[in-house]
């Protein structure tokens, strides 16, 4: 009996998409000018710093995630103003204006190969933005069609390297962790986290610092590892 192709999970930023720039000041400027103009920019900036201190400063220790929509709710509490637009629509517009990425080298070729081999594919990303937002962003690069699932820590409530994040994806696919691959560019959050969850981890070594395990310096090399 033929073996079912392994589930392959990818990190998103700096693995599938290469970051050109990210500017959260644009987010605060947009929110101020559109919704909180009666307050000063400094006040809006202070709300952001307060939220970060209360909800985000220890997330690398607790691995708990706070979402962008939770930030919006906090700004509503501080200002007494309810944003008239749907939080999801605000989130997607904010996401669009605060960053720019390009498709990583050989990404499309590797995804085409894996889909041709019938591997189910997923994204697992540490992000304050929702899975729906990430899906739409992938769609703008014509990449969403490759992925059978897109997962954000904003929706899961937990961040990599927590094993729970990886296991949640495996559970949704009915996949055995030992038969699941994870590909990412961060040794601690991606590789160690995946291994601790029982997955087979591939380190995407973009900086040439080496790794004693599955390692690629170009994603095209995955064709030699994942069959």
Which of 97, 114, 145 finishes a domain?
Answer: 97
- CA nearest neighbour of 32 among 44, 47, 49, 46: 44
At residue 88 the predicted structure's pLDDT band, cuts being 50, 70 and 90, is confident
Give the residue from 197, 214, 206, 213 showing the smallest Cα distance to 161: 197
List strand residue ranges (DSSP E) for 168-222, in order: 180-184, 200-204, 215-216
1 within domain boundaries: no
pLDDT higher than threshold 70 for residue 2: no
Does 122 lie in the same domain as 64?
no
Strand partners, 158: 64
- The confidence score (pLDDT) of residue 31 equals 94
**Quick one: tokens of 137?**
């962003």
The pLDDT of residue 24 is 93
Indicate if 126 and 220 belong to the same structural domain: yes
The more confident residue out of 1 and 223 is 223
Asked if residue 121 lies in contact with residue 114, where contact means CB atoms within 8 angstroms, the answer is: yes
Residue 1 has pLDDT above 60, yes or no: no
- Residue 139: phi, psi to the nearest 5? -60, -30
Helix (H) or strand (E) segment spanning residue 80? none
The DSSP code for 118 is T
Per-residue pLDDT tens over the stretch 34-75? 999 999 999 999 999 999 999 999 998 999 999 999 999 999
Residues 6 or more apart whose CB falls under 8 angstroms from that of 86 comprise none
pLDDT at residue 85, as a whole number: 77
Domain count, the chain: 2
Tell me, yes or no, whether 51 and 13 share the same domain: no
Does residue 123 form part of some domain?
A: yes
Contact yes or no for 54/67 (Cβ under 8 A): no
Residue 89 pLDDT: 87
pTM: 0.95
Q: 188-203 burial, b for 16+ CB within 10 Å, e for fewer?
A: ebbbbbbbebebbbbb
| Whether residues 80 and 129 fall in one domain | no
Rounded Cα–Cα distance for residues 219 and 222 (Å): 6
Percent of the chain with pLDDT over 70: 99
Q: At 180, is the pLDDT very low, low, confident or very high (cuts 50, 70, 90)?
A: very high
Those residues whose C-beta lies under 8 Å from the C-beta of residue 72, and which sit 6 or more positions away, are: 83, 87, 90, 91
H/E stretch holding 121 reads: strand 121-125
Residue-range definition of the domain harbouring residue 158: 7-19+102-225
Count, residues in the chain? 227
What is the tens place of the pLDDT at every residue in 191-210? Answer: 999 999 999 999 999 999 98
Q: Say yes or no: 152 and 212 in one domain.
A: yes
Asked if 69 and 130 count as a contact pair (C-beta separation under 8 A), the reply is yes
Least confident of 14-28, 76-90, 107-121, 132-146: 76-90
């Amino acid at each position: 009996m033929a073996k079912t192709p392994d589930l392959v999970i990818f990190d998103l930023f700096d693995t599938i998409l290469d970051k050109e720039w990210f500017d959260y000041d644009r987010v605060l400027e947009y929110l101020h000018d559109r919704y909180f103009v009666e307050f000063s920019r400094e006040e809006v900036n202070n709300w952001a710093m307060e939220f970060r201190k209360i909800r985000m400063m220890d997330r690398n220790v607790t691995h708990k995630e706070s979402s962008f929509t939770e930030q919006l709710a906090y700004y509503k509490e501080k200002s007494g103003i309810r944003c008239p637009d749907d939080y999801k629509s605000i989130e997607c517009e904010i996401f669009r204006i605060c960053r720019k990425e390009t498709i990583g080298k050989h990404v499309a070729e590797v995804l085409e190969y894996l889909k041709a081999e019938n591997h189910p594919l997923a994204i697992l990303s540490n992000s304050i933005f929702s899975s729906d937002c990430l899906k739409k962003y992938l769609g703008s690069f014509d990449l969403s069609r490759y992925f059978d699932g897109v997962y954000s820590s904003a929706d899961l409530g937990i961040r990599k390297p927590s094993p729970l994040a990886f296991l949640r994806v495996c559970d949704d696919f009915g996949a055995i962790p030992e038969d699941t691959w994870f590909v990412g560019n961060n040794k601690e959050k991606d590789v160690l986290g995946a291994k601790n969850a029982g997955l087979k981890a591939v380190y995407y070594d973009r900086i040439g610092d080496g790794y004693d395990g599955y390692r690629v310096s170009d994603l095209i090399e995955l064709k030699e590892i994942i069959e």
